[in-house]
Structure 1
Amino acid sequence: MRVLNLVTNEESRFFKQQVETLESRGIESRTVSVPGTRVRTDDESSSRSVLDYLRFYPPVLTSSFGDYDLLHANYGLTAPAALAQPNLPVVLSLWGSDLMGEYGWLSKWCAKFADAVVVMSPEMAAELDCDTYVVPHGVDLERFAPEPQRDARERVGWRHDAHHVLFPYPETREVKNYPRAERVVEAVREQFSGRLELHTLFGVPHRGMPAYYNAADALLLTSRREGSPNSVKEALACNLPVVSTDVGDVGERLAGVDLSTVARTDEALVDGLLRVLRAGRRSNGRQRAREVSLERMGEQLEGIYRRVVEDGSADVSQPVTVGR
């Protein structure tokens, strides 16, 4: 099978992992990305000019006459060009901000005309007036794995005589709501006798992230909205307890996981974090993380591809599907 990929940023880690995973399953692909310079906005989403997207269509159209079985449009802003070409069936993947953000209206409209639509969470599926597949981004379980906490703290330079809460984003990402994380941790300090430190991360290479998950005592997520946050899945793979707002698929991911909390109020977040710190042990999250491995993601996407190619559209009654 040969796939023509469209994407806004071909250097996206999620996208590169997806392509590599599918290639390991024998699926060949070529990528056409949107031209122009990406602009970082307050929530760190990528934006280009309307002209850049107009320039995007000619190479998409030309490529669609090639020897491909289908076109996979990754991120909603690539969907208009995907649907405007006349030659290939279209699988559309929505990643989160493209559906929940400023241009969500465009993604919703385009989704109605795709042969199959892939989203990251049931919450995203509920936003669409069409049937969807729920296939979260996968996690590399070989890279993200438990290791002794003391060793991990030595690697990242954290104190051994303190408790550490990880907020794995820069403070400036508005959608992640760092002020709420600060507020929760400060409230915990008033009730917890041990030394407590809150750590934000910016610019850490992805390959270095497992050490931080293993060095921490808890992951704190206070986002206003999410699709399927990889930080939660990566924390699960390292058996790190998670305390999170009720966003995206976090509730589903943490169901049955020890020492993890999904909450709507500051008080519940404080209680959940206190429970983790007082327990002083790891979770059983890795068991749940196996459901969102890279291998599982590749298997699901290949299944969708084959149904689209063989039947002209994906059968939404199949097991990987959540439909409306």
Structure 2
Amino acid sequence: MRVIIVCSRNSGKIVPFIQEQGDALSQLGVEVAYFSIEGKGLCGYLKNKKRLLSKINEFMPDLIHAHYGLSGLLANLQRKIPVITTYHGSDINNTKIFPLSRLNMILSVHNIFVSEKNRLKSNQTRNQSLIPCGVDISLFQPTNKLEARQQLSLNADKKYILFAGAFTNSVKNPDLAKSALLFFQDVELLELKGYSRPEVALLLNAVDLLLLTSFSEGSPQIIKEAMACNCPIVSVSVGDVEDVVSGINGCYISSYQPTDIVAKIKQALAFGGRIQGRNRIIEMGLDSDSISTKILNVYNKVLS
């Protein structure tokens, strides 16, 4: 089976969760090729049509798997190769993009949603699946906290909180996180930016907790990665976070009120240990091997 994965490269590289999903599918015997979109917005995406058609003629795929609604629209400009589209959240939650995603849902032979909230919002009842992105549990696994701090040159005695994104990303709501940290002394908020994947795994073992305050998410990968590393979590109820962390000691769901965020951070710091999140990830089948098997089943169903 030959599959072209169509996705954006506007950040300078293919985002890790798409690349890792492709790698996992390759391990199952799928021949995977990538088509990277250059440009932003609907017009920027559609300008890639000629290059995509050339890639299709060169690779001769059985399927195209597009990630995000606009990528799907580009892929569906041709009607010869069936298109499967995965929606990751911003393409559902953004009111300007959502109508375009709805159009793409009609054109795609199958639609994959990474969270139940987004699936319900899409109102799709046929030819659809709920399949979050999986976690590479061989990379994201518990390690010794002090050793992780040593490798990252972090203070062994200081309290560290990892913010779930870049401070420049307004959707991640960094102002709320920064305002909450004003109530704490000798606690440093680390920005999740510029780290390699192995370094992110180290960070999740080195910090005292992960903090997510986003206005919008689909199925945030960093939450699942933190769970796989048994890292305590404080998060607002966004995307599928509550479904993933519910009932896990050391994980706390907060409102968007700063006082509530502060209270939940205090609880997480007082918890002081590591959570039992890794078992939950495995039980829910959110490891990359289980997820890639589900996606391969969708591929086979479409081709049959």
Offset, 1:22: 0.5
Contact 1:112 1:130 in 2 (8 A): no
* 1:304 match: 298
Q: Is the 8 A contact 2:42 2:70 kept in 1?
A: no
Q: Which residue of 2 aligns with 1:73?
A: 66
2:147 aligns with 151
- Verify the 8 A CA contact 1:64 1:85 in the aligned structure 2: no
Tell me if the contact between 2:134 and 2:289 (Cα under 8 Å) persists in the aligned partners. yes
Q: Which moved more, 1:114-123 or 1:258-267?
A: 258-267
Tell me which of 75, 84, 97 is aligned to 1:103.
Answer: 97
Task: Quote the offset at 1:195 in angstroms.
Answer: 3.4
Q: Distance in 1 between the 2:280 and 2:171 partners?
A: 26
Is 1:252 equivalent to 2:252 in the alignment?
no
- Counterpart in the other structure of 1:180: 176
Query: How far did residue 210 of structure 1 move?
Result: 1.3
- 1:17 is aligned to 2:20: yes
Q: Which residue number corresponds to residue 60 of structure 1?
A: 52
Amino acid at match of 1:257: I
The residue that corresponds to 2:119 in the other structure is: 125
Relative to structure 1, is the Cα distance of residues 195 and 55 closer, same or farther in structure 2, using a 3 angstrom cutoff?
closer
Does structure 1 residue 7 correspond to structure 2 residue 11? no
1:140 is matched with 136
Task: State the alpha-carbon separation in 2 of the partners of residues 250 and 213 from structure 1.
Answer: 17
- How far apart, in 1, do the equivalents of 2:92 and 2:144 lie? 39
Instruction: Report deviation, 1:184.
Output: 2.0
1:265-322 deviation digits (Å, cap 9, x = unpaired): 3333222221121121111011112231110110110011111111xxxxxxxxxxxx
**Structure 1 regions of 5+ residues with no counterpart?**
39-46, 311-324
By how many angstroms is 1:116 displaced?
A: 0.9
Cα offset, 1:143, TM superposition: 0.9
Identify if the C-alpha distance between structure 1 residues 71 and 170 changes in structure 2 by more than 3 Å, giving closer, same or farther.
Answer: closer
CA contact (8 A) 2:252 2:268 kept: no
Q: Distance in 2 between matches of 1:2 and 1:152?
A: 40
What letter is aligned with 1:272? K
Cα 1:81–1:170 shift into 2, 3 Å:
closer
- 1:197-236 correspondence to structure 2 within 5 Å: 197-236=188-227
Moved more, 10-19 or 282-291: 10-19
Aligned-partner Cα distance in 2 for 1:59–1:197: 46
Q: 1:108, 1:129 within 8 Å by CA — same for their partners in 2?
A: no
Distance 1:278 1:25, change over 3 A: same
Residue in 2 that maps onto 1:319: none
Counting aligned pairs with the same residue, the percent is: 29
Match of 1:89 in 2: 82
- Shifted more, 267-276 versus 280-289: the winner is 267-276
Q: For structure 1, which segment, 60-69 or 283-292, has the greater mean C-alpha deviation from structure 2 after superposition?
A: 60-69
Q: TM-score, normalized by length of structure 2?
A: 0.89
Q: Say whether the 8 Å CA contact 1:60–1:85 is kept in structure 2.
A: no
- Residue identity in the other structure for 1:161: D
Equivalent residue of 1:138, what SS?
Answer: coil
Two-structure CA RMSD over aligned residues (Å): 2.0
User: What is the letter of the counterpart of residue 193 of structure 2?
Assistant: F
Secondary structure, aligned partner of 2:47:
helix
Structure 2 residue corresponding to 1:280, chosen from 272, 275, 279: 272
Q: Cα deviation per residue 1:105-129 (whole Å; 9 max; x = unaligned)?
A: 2012211232110111112112212
Shift of 1:155: 1.5
- In structure 2, the partner of 1:313 is none
Query: Aligned-pair distance for 1:64?
Result: 4.7
Question: Number of matched residues?
Answer: 294
